[in-house]
Amino acid sequence: MTSFIRALALACIAAVAVGVVHADEPRVTRAKPELSIKTLDGKTFDLSAQRGHWVIVNFWATWCSPCIKEMPDISAYVAAHAKDVSAIGIAWEDTERDEIDAFVKQHPVAYALAQGDVYNPLPDFEVPRSLPVTFLIAPDGSVAKKFTGPITGDDLDKAMAAGKAR
């Protein structure tokens, strides 16, 4: 019985270790996720229409201070790389639309914004467990990298350079 318990404990430790090693890998339901979402300005952001470009898919919230801190960085990055990079920021919170509109007036960005429905999650992306969460989509439509926590332009440069090398 002792050897069984020892083996079970080792199996649990191994399972946890594997989970930790893979915790930062992208978790999407498709190799090339799809996303079509109505933006705050009434347009539709369609991820498949962005093929050939890098796309930043950023989950954020108005109450999230790291999200607010990274928004100008993402905005500046998109503006500086507009030929090759686009972005969609998805407000992931149960907040009234007028509150999000008021927030955006105080924190304007140079990329599309949308409000996600926390009760009807996006089918091809994992439900964010913390914010901010950012998926960098490669020009071929695959997920190049998932970031948990705020990102910078340097983070994006490094991830895109690594993605080009694959």
Q: Give every CB contact of residue 59 below 8 A, 6+ residues apart in sequence.
A: 90, 92, 116, 128, 131, 132, 133, 134
The structure tokens 């970031």 sit at 147
Instruction: Pick 26 or 76 by higher pLDDT.
Output: 76
> Distance between CA 32 and CA 111 in Å, rounded?
22
Task: Assign 31 a pLDDT band (cuts: 50, 70, 90).
Answer: confident
**Res. 60: pLDDT tops 50:** yes
Structure tokens given for 140: 């071929």
The structure tokens 């695959």 sit at 142
Task: Assign 165 a pLDDT band (cuts: 50, 70, 90).
Answer: low
**Res. 7: pLDDT tops 50:** no
Domain ranges of the chain: 26-165
Residue 57 near residue 88, CB atoms below 8 Å: yes
> Distance between CA 122 and CA 128 in Å, rounded?
10
**pLDDT value of position 28:** 56
Q: What is the pLDDT of residues 117-158, one digit of tens each?
A: 999 999 999 899 999 999 999 999 999 999 999 999 999 999
> What is the CATH architecture assignment of 26-165?
3-Layer(aba) Sandwich (3.40)
